[in-house]
Protein backbone atom coordinates (compact mmCIF):
# COMPACT_ATOMS: atom_id res chain seq x y z
CA UNK A 1 0.00 0.00 0.00
CA UNK A 2 2.70 2.47 1.01
CA UNK A 3 4.65 1.78 -2.18
CA UNK A 4 1.72 2.89 -4.34
CA UNK A 5 1.07 5.88 -2.08
CA UNK A 6 4.69 7.00 -2.34
CA UNK A 7 4.72 6.72 -6.13
CA UNK A 8 1.48 8.70 -6.34
CA UNK A 9 2.66 11.44 -3.95
CA UNK A 10 6.10 11.87 -5.50
CA UNK A 11 4.83 11.98 -9.07
CA UNK A 12 5.81 15.38 -10.42
CA UNK A 13 7.40 16.54 -7.16
CA UNK A 14 10.64 18.52 -7.20
CA UNK A 15 13.01 17.20 -4.56
CA UNK A 16 16.24 19.06 -3.80
CA UNK A 17 19.00 16.83 -2.41
CA UNK A 18 22.20 18.00 -0.73
CA UNK A 19 24.99 15.46 -0.42
CA UNK A 20 23.86 13.97 -3.70
CA UNK A 21 27.29 12.58 -4.52
CA UNK A 22 27.34 10.42 -1.39
CA UNK A 23 26.19 6.83 -1.00
CA UNK A 24 22.69 7.64 0.23
CA UNK A 25 22.33 10.81 -1.85
CA UNK A 26 22.96 8.99 -5.13
CA UNK A 27 20.44 6.31 -4.20
CA UNK A 28 17.79 8.86 -3.19
CA UNK A 29 18.22 10.83 -6.42
CA UNK A 30 17.81 7.65 -8.47
CA UNK A 31 14.77 6.56 -6.46
CA UNK A 32 13.02 9.93 -6.84
CA UNK A 33 13.49 9.71 -10.60
CA UNK A 34 12.06 6.17 -10.64
CA UNK A 35 8.92 7.32 -8.83
CA UNK A 36 8.26 10.04 -11.38
CA UNK A 37 9.60 12.95 -9.38
CA UNK A 38 12.38 15.35 -10.33
CA UNK A 39 15.55 15.25 -8.25
CA UNK A 40 17.60 18.44 -8.03
CA UNK A 41 21.19 17.93 -6.89
CA UNK A 42 22.48 20.76 -4.70
CA UNK A 43 26.23 21.15 -4.42
CA UNK A 44 29.32 23.07 -5.38
CA UNK A 45 28.72 22.80 -9.13
CA UNK A 46 25.67 23.22 -11.33
CA UNK A 47 24.80 22.87 -14.97
CA UNK A 48 22.57 25.15 -17.02
CA UNK A 49 19.41 23.13 -16.48
CA UNK A 50 16.89 22.83 -13.65
CA UNK A 51 18.32 19.58 -12.27
CA UNK A 52 21.07 21.14 -10.13
CA UNK A 53 21.51 24.15 -7.87
CA UNK A 54 24.70 25.66 -6.52
CA UNK A 55 24.91 25.27 -2.73
CA UNK A 56 27.70 25.22 -0.17
CA UNK A 57 27.42 24.49 3.52
CA UNK A 58 29.28 27.66 4.50
CA UNK A 59 27.45 30.13 2.25
CA UNK A 60 24.15 28.51 1.27
CA UNK A 61 22.52 28.84 -2.14
CA UNK A 62 23.99 31.03 -4.84
CA UNK A 63 20.49 32.20 -5.82
CA UNK A 64 18.03 33.49 -3.19
CA UNK A 65 15.12 31.92 -5.07
CA UNK A 66 16.78 28.50 -5.35
CA UNK A 67 14.01 26.72 -3.40
CA UNK A 68 11.00 28.64 -4.72
CA UNK A 69 9.92 25.78 -7.01
CA UNK A 70 10.93 22.92 -4.69
CA UNK A 71 8.44 20.70 -2.85
CA UNK A 72 10.89 18.81 -0.65
CA UNK A 73 14.47 19.19 0.54
CA UNK A 74 16.48 16.12 1.53
CA UNK A 75 19.51 17.39 3.40
CA UNK A 76 22.25 14.74 3.60
CA UNK A 77 25.45 16.76 3.24
CA UNK A 78 28.15 16.69 5.90
CA UNK A 79 31.88 16.27 6.38
CA UNK A 80 33.10 12.66 6.61
CA UNK A 81 33.23 11.49 10.24
CA UNK A 82 35.29 8.41 9.37
CA UNK A 83 38.66 10.16 9.61
CA UNK A 84 40.77 10.76 12.69
CA UNK A 85 39.27 13.63 14.65
CA UNK A 86 41.89 16.34 14.70
CA UNK A 87 40.81 19.75 15.95
CA UNK A 88 40.42 20.93 12.34
CA UNK A 89 38.43 17.83 11.37
CA UNK A 90 36.07 18.22 14.32
CA UNK A 91 35.50 21.86 13.39
CA UNK A 92 34.72 20.82 9.81
CA UNK A 93 32.33 18.09 10.99
CA UNK A 94 30.50 20.54 13.26
CA UNK A 95 30.36 23.42 10.79
CA UNK A 96 29.31 21.34 7.78
CA UNK A 97 26.30 20.01 9.67
CA UNK A 98 25.22 22.93 11.84
CA UNK A 99 26.04 25.88 9.57
CA UNK A 100 25.06 23.84 6.51
CA UNK A 101 21.63 23.04 7.95
CA UNK A 102 21.19 26.64 9.04
CA UNK A 103 21.72 27.74 5.44
CA UNK A 104 18.95 25.36 4.33
CA UNK A 105 16.57 26.66 6.99
CA UNK A 106 17.27 30.26 5.99
CA UNK A 107 16.68 29.47 2.32
CA UNK A 108 13.35 27.86 3.19
CA UNK A 109 12.40 30.92 5.27
CA UNK A 110 12.99 33.19 2.27
CA UNK A 111 11.43 30.91 -0.35
CA UNK A 112 8.10 31.70 -1.97
CA UNK A 113 5.18 30.28 0.09
CA UNK A 114 4.60 26.62 -0.74
CA UNK A 115 3.73 23.40 1.07
CA UNK A 116 7.16 21.85 1.72
CA UNK A 117 8.96 19.23 3.76
CA UNK A 118 12.54 19.26 4.99
CA UNK A 119 14.04 15.81 5.56
CA UNK A 120 17.29 16.34 7.42
CA UNK A 121 19.83 13.67 8.27
CA UNK A 122 21.06 13.16 11.80
CA UNK A 123 22.55 10.05 13.43
CA UNK A 124 21.94 7.60 16.25
CA UNK A 125 25.10 9.15 17.73
CA UNK A 126 22.61 11.69 19.10
CA UNK A 127 22.10 9.31 22.03
CA UNK A 128 25.77 8.87 22.93
CA UNK A 129 26.93 5.56 24.38
CA UNK A 130 23.84 3.82 25.77
CA UNK A 131 25.18 0.47 26.92
CA UNK A 132 22.50 -2.23 26.86
CA UNK A 133 19.51 0.13 27.21
CA UNK A 134 16.94 -0.17 24.41
CA UNK A 135 16.82 3.25 22.74
CA UNK A 136 13.79 4.73 21.00
CA UNK A 137 13.03 8.31 20.01
CA UNK A 138 11.77 9.21 23.49
CA UNK A 139 15.31 9.08 24.86
CA UNK A 140 17.06 12.41 25.25
CA UNK A 141 20.47 13.35 23.89
CA UNK A 142 23.63 11.80 25.24
CA UNK A 143 27.09 13.20 25.84
CA UNK A 144 30.21 13.37 23.71
CA UNK A 145 31.27 15.15 20.56
CA UNK A 146 28.90 13.37 18.16
CA UNK A 147 25.91 13.81 20.48
CA UNK A 148 26.62 17.53 20.73
CA UNK A 149 26.96 17.84 16.95
CA UNK A 150 23.68 15.99 16.42
CA UNK A 151 21.87 18.25 18.88
CA UNK A 152 22.99 21.38 17.04
CA UNK A 153 22.31 19.74 13.69
CA UNK A 154 18.74 18.84 14.63
CA UNK A 155 18.07 22.22 16.23
CA UNK A 156 18.92 23.97 12.97
CA UNK A 157 16.69 21.59 11.02
CA UNK A 158 13.80 22.16 13.43
CA UNK A 159 14.17 25.92 13.04
CA UNK A 160 12.80 25.50 9.51
CA UNK A 161 9.40 24.77 11.04
CA UNK A 162 9.07 28.52 11.56
CA UNK A 163 8.85 28.81 7.77
CA UNK A 164 5.71 26.60 7.79
CA UNK A 165 7.80 23.67 6.64
CA UNK A 166 7.12 20.15 7.87
CA UNK A 167 10.40 18.96 9.38
CA UNK A 168 11.50 15.33 9.62
CA UNK A 169 14.83 14.37 11.21
CA UNK A 170 16.21 10.93 10.36
CA UNK A 171 18.67 9.55 12.90
CA UNK A 172 20.56 7.19 10.64
CA UNK A 173 22.39 4.09 11.78
CA UNK A 174 25.24 2.55 9.78
CA UNK A 175 24.06 2.06 6.20
CA UNK A 176 24.91 -1.30 4.63
CA UNK A 177 25.74 -1.18 0.93
CA UNK A 178 28.33 -2.72 -1.34
CA UNK A 179 29.35 0.47 -3.09
CA UNK A 180 30.41 2.59 -0.15
CA UNK A 181 30.10 3.39 3.53
CA UNK A 182 31.42 1.21 6.33
CA UNK A 183 31.19 -2.08 4.43
CA UNK A 184 33.43 -0.74 1.66
CA UNK A 185 36.15 -0.32 4.28
CA UNK A 186 35.48 -3.51 6.23
CA UNK A 187 34.90 -6.03 3.44
CA UNK A 188 38.48 -6.05 2.05
CA UNK A 189 39.87 -6.67 5.55
CA UNK A 190 37.40 -9.47 6.26
CA UNK A 191 38.05 -11.06 2.86
CA UNK A 192 41.71 -11.49 3.81
CA UNK A 193 40.70 -13.28 7.01
CA UNK A 194 41.86 -10.40 9.21
CA UNK A 195 38.46 -9.23 10.38
CA UNK A 196 37.00 -9.57 13.85
CA UNK A 197 35.30 -7.81 16.73
CA UNK A 198 36.26 -4.33 17.86
CA UNK A 199 37.41 -4.18 21.46
CA UNK A 200 35.30 -6.44 23.68
CA UNK A 201 32.65 -6.66 20.94
CA UNK A 202 29.71 -6.19 23.32
CA UNK A 203 28.79 -2.71 22.04
CA UNK A 204 25.52 -2.54 20.14
CA UNK A 205 25.50 -1.71 16.42
CA UNK A 206 22.30 -0.42 14.87
CA UNK A 207 22.30 -0.75 11.08
CA UNK A 208 20.07 -0.42 8.00
CA UNK A 209 20.27 -1.72 4.44
CA UNK A 210 20.63 1.03 1.82
CA UNK A 211 17.34 0.08 0.14
CA UNK A 212 15.49 0.46 3.44
CA UNK A 213 17.20 3.80 4.15
CA UNK A 214 16.00 5.11 0.78
CA UNK A 215 12.50 3.74 1.38
CA UNK A 216 12.32 5.64 4.68
CA UNK A 217 13.36 8.89 2.99
CA UNK A 218 10.67 8.50 0.32
CA UNK A 219 8.05 7.51 2.91
CA UNK A 220 8.57 10.58 5.08
CA UNK A 221 8.47 12.86 2.03
CA UNK A 222 5.19 11.37 0.88
CA UNK A 223 3.42 10.88 4.22
CA UNK A 224 2.28 14.29 5.48
CA UNK A 225 1.37 12.84 8.88
CA UNK A 226 5.02 12.21 9.75
CA UNK A 227 7.15 14.86 11.43
CA UNK A 228 9.82 15.01 14.11
CA UNK A 229 12.68 12.57 14.78
CA UNK A 230 12.81 8.96 13.59
CA UNK A 231 15.43 6.32 14.35
CA UNK A 232 16.35 5.15 10.85
CA UNK A 233 17.64 1.69 11.55
CA UNK A 234 16.51 -1.90 11.17
CA UNK A 235 14.40 -3.26 14.05
CA UNK A 236 17.09 -5.75 15.12
CA UNK A 237 20.37 -4.18 16.27
CA UNK A 238 23.22 -6.56 17.02
CA UNK A 239 26.35 -6.53 19.13
CA UNK A 240 29.62 -5.84 17.35
CA UNK A 241 30.81 -9.42 17.90
CA UNK A 242 27.67 -10.76 16.17
CA UNK A 243 28.00 -8.26 13.35
CA UNK A 244 31.61 -9.31 12.76
CA UNK A 245 30.76 -13.01 12.78
CA UNK A 246 27.86 -12.57 10.34
CA UNK A 247 29.91 -10.36 8.03
CA UNK A 248 32.60 -13.04 7.97
CA UNK A 249 30.03 -15.72 7.13
CA UNK A 250 28.53 -13.55 4.37
CA UNK A 251 31.99 -13.33 2.82
CA UNK A 252 32.89 -16.97 3.45
CA UNK A 253 35.74 -16.06 5.80
CA UNK A 254 36.44 -16.50 9.51
CA UNK A 255 36.23 -13.40 11.71
CA UNK A 256 38.70 -14.35 14.41
CA UNK A 257 41.16 -11.45 14.55
CA UNK A 258 39.97 -8.89 17.11
CA UNK A 259 41.09 -5.27 17.07
CA UNK A 260 42.14 -4.49 20.67
CA UNK A 261 40.71 -1.41 22.33
CA UNK A 262 44.14 0.07 23.05
CA UNK A 263 45.22 -0.31 19.41
CA UNK A 264 42.08 1.40 18.13
CA UNK A 265 42.56 4.25 20.58
CA UNK A 266 46.20 4.66 19.63
CA UNK A 267 45.38 4.71 15.91
CA UNK A 268 42.17 6.75 15.95
CA UNK A 269 41.96 8.54 19.29
CA UNK A 270 38.60 10.03 20.29
CA UNK A 271 36.96 8.77 17.10
CA UNK A 272 37.56 5.16 18.19
CA UNK A 273 35.85 5.74 21.55
CA UNK A 274 32.70 7.28 20.06
CA UNK A 275 32.34 5.56 16.68
CA UNK A 276 33.80 2.09 17.19
CA UNK A 277 33.81 1.22 20.88
CA UNK A 278 30.52 2.85 21.93
CA UNK A 279 27.08 1.87 20.72
CA UNK A 280 23.33 2.35 20.79
CA UNK A 281 20.74 -0.39 20.98
CA UNK A 282 18.49 1.76 18.83
CA UNK A 283 15.14 0.63 17.43
CA UNK A 284 12.81 2.36 14.92
CA UNK A 285 9.86 2.65 17.28
CA UNK A 286 8.14 5.57 15.51
CA UNK A 287 8.52 4.07 12.02
CA UNK A 288 7.06 0.78 13.22
CA UNK A 289 4.18 2.63 14.90
CA UNK A 290 3.50 4.29 11.54
CA UNK A 291 3.21 0.85 9.93
CA UNK A 292 6.51 1.02 8.08
CA UNK A 293 7.86 -2.34 6.92
CA UNK A 294 11.51 -3.09 6.33
CA UNK A 295 12.65 -5.19 3.39
CA UNK A 296 15.68 -6.34 5.40
CA UNK A 297 14.84 -6.58 9.11
CA UNK A 298 17.55 -9.19 9.86
CA UNK A 299 21.30 -8.65 9.51
CA UNK A 300 22.09 -11.98 7.80
CA UNK A 301 19.42 -11.25 5.20
CA UNK A 302 20.75 -7.74 4.59
CA UNK A 303 24.38 -8.88 4.24
CA UNK A 304 23.35 -11.69 1.89
CA UNK A 305 21.62 -9.12 -0.33
CA UNK A 306 24.62 -6.78 -0.27
CA UNK A 307 27.07 -9.51 -1.26
CA UNK A 308 24.75 -11.50 -3.56
CA UNK A 309 27.06 -10.90 -6.53
CA UNK A 310 29.83 -12.79 -4.73
CA UNK A 311 27.66 -15.92 -4.68
CA UNK A 312 26.59 -15.47 -8.29
CA UNK A 313 30.09 -15.00 -9.70
CA UNK A 314 32.22 -16.84 -7.19
CA UNK A 315 34.30 -13.68 -7.02
CA UNK A 316 34.66 -10.98 -4.38
CA UNK A 317 34.94 -8.30 -7.04
Which residues of the chain register pLDDT less than 50?
48, 312-317
Instruction: Give one word for 193, left, alpha or beta, with left for phi > 0 and alpha for psi -120 to 50.
Output: left
**Domains of the chain with bracketed CATH:** 2-175+206-233+280-295 (3.40.50.720)
Alpha carbon distances (Å) from 122 to 119, 176, 201: 10, 17, 25
Of 72, 100, 117, 144, residue with least CA distance to 228: 117
The pLDDT of residue 51 is 78
Cβ contacts of 109 within 8 Å, gap of 6 or more: 160, 162, 163
CA–CA separation, 51 vs 39, rounded Å?
7
Q: Is the C-alpha dihedral spanning 219, 223, 226, 227 positive or negative?
A: positive
**Model pTM?**
0.94
The pLDDT of residue 317 is 37
The pLDDT of residue 310 is 67
The pLDDT of residue 47 is 61
The pLDDT of residue 164 is 87
Number of helices and strands (H, E) in the chain? Answer: 12, 14
The pLDDT of residue 206 is 98
CA–CA separation, 303 vs 305, rounded Å?
5
Amino acid sequence: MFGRLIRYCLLGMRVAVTGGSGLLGRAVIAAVARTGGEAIACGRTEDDGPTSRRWEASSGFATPSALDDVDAVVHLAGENIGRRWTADQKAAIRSSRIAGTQSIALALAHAAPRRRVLVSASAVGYYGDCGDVLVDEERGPGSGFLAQVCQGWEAMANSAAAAQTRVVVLRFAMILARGGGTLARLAPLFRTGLGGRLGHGRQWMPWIHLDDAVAVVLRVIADHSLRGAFNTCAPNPVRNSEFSAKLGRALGRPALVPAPRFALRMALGEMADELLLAGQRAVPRRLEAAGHRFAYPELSQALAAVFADDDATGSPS
